[in-house]
């Protein structure tokens, strides 16, 4: 049996304008929303964890690769989503979080990382060695050759791990790989850029050099067979977002890069930072060969919007109820972000008023890093529990979540806090279903 993504690439190359979107997230409600949206389709659900979220030490979620797999499959069981339609991917697997270490130590950590991912059952592996490690820039030699050599070393570890799995289960699916040397950093642009300058599209010469350099490095590691499982190359098609701006896709600007893809029979493009693109833009990207669309912050942004709306409903309904303690969800979240600013301070700048605004409403959605914290998560659960104990007036739903109000009125959405929240997130997921189906 071929890998589903491999099959999607073949379908695209044969003329079908199809793709797949990747939910890069660990948020329970985001994942459940995606499962709900795709349950009655024949589409695969691709879920990816990033190297800083999940690693052999636990990442910022506290989960190791096997823990994440168990977590996703448990959600699938609870939500009656077929496990055989779930593809698990590892995003930015490499020295992303160890760039301050010397190259030998950083690569040893990276080897253990990719090995644990493959052994845990992840079958889409983004080999990302595009970031310089300690001393690389000082050497003056950092470029495609070093990047591709390190990626090939990690791929060999993946292949060896896959062979271990084969000894246990001969039907285990072979992982597919995504490569690249011009890889946008996770989570959007950190520094503000002038809107009129736009985002530079990957040059055709750079794209072709990346492919050929990686292919040669794979050959040098004896990985000619593994090269056949490279399905995607990460490029920059000119899309990005920052704290308060979105650079939209312009297919004319990306035309030369798009046309260059025709020279490679089995390769497609993977596009990162596609968050907040319009449905039309996403559809055009898929048509143009960027058939793996990565999305993360936009989905947790939708979660944040839904949670804030529910908090407003809770306050309106229960502020005078002596029997229920308010969750103060928004206040608890804000307090945690102020108390420990390390996950947002490099992303937000300007006046104190602007920073305060961005902490809550930025497109970068650094709020997502604080949701797993014990007291923030407790406040969220408290809010949802409070709202489950009362009848939410349809007028309040109309006031704060009008799209969901219409669905409730039409009888297609249950009037409960959790379903309102997941459906709010689903509005963003709908754009990706439209673009890739």
**Which residues, in sequence order, are bridge partners of residue 89?**
48, 124
Rounded Cα–Cα distance for residues 102 and 356 (Å): 37
The distance of Cα 362 from the centroid of its chain, to the nearest Å, equals 17
pLDDT tens for each residue of 341-387: 999 999 999 999 999 999 999 999 999 999 999 999 999 999 999 99
Rounded Cα–Cα distance for residues 115 and 232 (Å): 20
Q: What pLDDT is attached to residue 193? A: 46
CB count in 10 Å sphere of residue 378: 13
The distance of Cα 98 from the centroid of its chain, to the nearest Å, equals 20
Rounded Cα–Cα distance for residues 94 and 113 (Å): 8
Question: Considering the chain, what percentage of its residues have pLDDT values greater than 90?
Answer: 93
Q: What pLDDT is attached to residue 39? A: 97
pLDDT tens for each residue of 103-158: 999 999 999 999 999 999 999 999 999 999 999 998 888 999 999 999 999 999 99
The alpha carbons of the chain give a radius of gyration, in whole angstroms, of 22
CB count in 10 Å sphere of residue 395: 10
Q: What pLDDT is attached to residue 1? A: 56
Q: What pLDDT is attached to residue 2? A: 87
Backbone angles phi, psi at 351, to 5 degrees: -70, 165
Convert 270-287 to b/e letters by CB count within 10 Å (16 or more is b): bbbbbbbbeeebbbbbbb
Q: What pLDDT is attached to residue 375? A: 97
Q: What pLDDT is attached to residue 181? A: 84
Rounded Cα–Cα distance for residues 227 and 216 (Å): 10
Residues in the chain predicted with pLDDT less than 50, given as ranges, are 191, 193-196
């Amino acid at each position: 049996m071929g890998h589903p993504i491999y099959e999607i690439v073949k379908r695209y190359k044969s003329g079908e304008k199809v793709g797949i979107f990747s939910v890069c997230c660990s948020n329970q409600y985001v994942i459940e929303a995606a499962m709900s949206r795709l349950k009655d389709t024949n589409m695969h659900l691709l879920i990816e964890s990033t190297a800083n979220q999940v690693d052999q030490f636990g990442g910022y979620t506290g989960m190791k690769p096997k823990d994440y797999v168990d977590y996703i499959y448990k959600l699938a069981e609870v939500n009656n989503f077929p496990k055989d339609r779930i593809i698990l991917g590892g995003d930015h697997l490499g020295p992303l979080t160890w760039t301050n270490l010397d190259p030998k130590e950083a690569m040893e950590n990276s080897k253990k990382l990719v090995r644990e991912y493959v052994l845990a059952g992840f079958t889409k592996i983004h080999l990302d060695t595009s970031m310089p490690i300690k001393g690389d820039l000082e050497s003056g030699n950092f470029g495609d050759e070093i990047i591709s050599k390190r990626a090939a070393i990690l791929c060999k570890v993946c292949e060896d791990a896959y062979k271990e799995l084969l000894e246990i289960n001969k039907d285990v699916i072979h992982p597919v790989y995504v490569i690249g040397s011009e890889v946008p950093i996770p989570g959007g642009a950190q520094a503000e850029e002038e809107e009129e300058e736009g985002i530079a599209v990957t040059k055709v010469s750079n794209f072709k050099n990346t492919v050929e350099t990686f292919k040669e490095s794979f050959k040098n590691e004896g990985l000619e067979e593994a090269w056949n499982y490279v399905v995607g190359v990460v490029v920059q098609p000119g899309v990005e977002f920052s704290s308060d701006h979105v650079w939209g896709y312009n297919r004319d600007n990306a035309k030369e890069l798009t046309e260059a893809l025709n020279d490679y029979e089995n390769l497609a493009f993977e596009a990162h930072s596609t968050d907040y693109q319009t449905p039309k833009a996403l559809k055009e990207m898929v048509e143009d060969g960027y058939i793996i669309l990565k999305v993360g912050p936009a989905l947790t942004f939708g979660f944040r919007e839904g949670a804030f709306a529910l908090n407003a409903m809770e306050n309106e309904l229960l502020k005078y109820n002596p029997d229920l303690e308010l969750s103060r969800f928004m206040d608890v979240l804000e307090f945690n972000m102020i108390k420990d600013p390390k996950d947002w301070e490099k992303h937000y700048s300007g006046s104190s008023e602007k920073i305060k605004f961005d902490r809550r409403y930025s497109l970068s959605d650094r709020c997502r890093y604080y949701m797993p914290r014990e007291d923030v998560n407790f406040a969220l659960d408290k809010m949802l529990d409070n709202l489950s104990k009362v009848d939410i007036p349809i007028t309040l739903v109309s006031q704060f979540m009008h799209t969901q109000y219409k669905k409730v009125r039409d009888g297609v959405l249950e009037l409960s806090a959790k379903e309102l929240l997941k459906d709010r997130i689903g509005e963003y997921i709908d754009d990706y279903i439209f673009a890739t189906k």
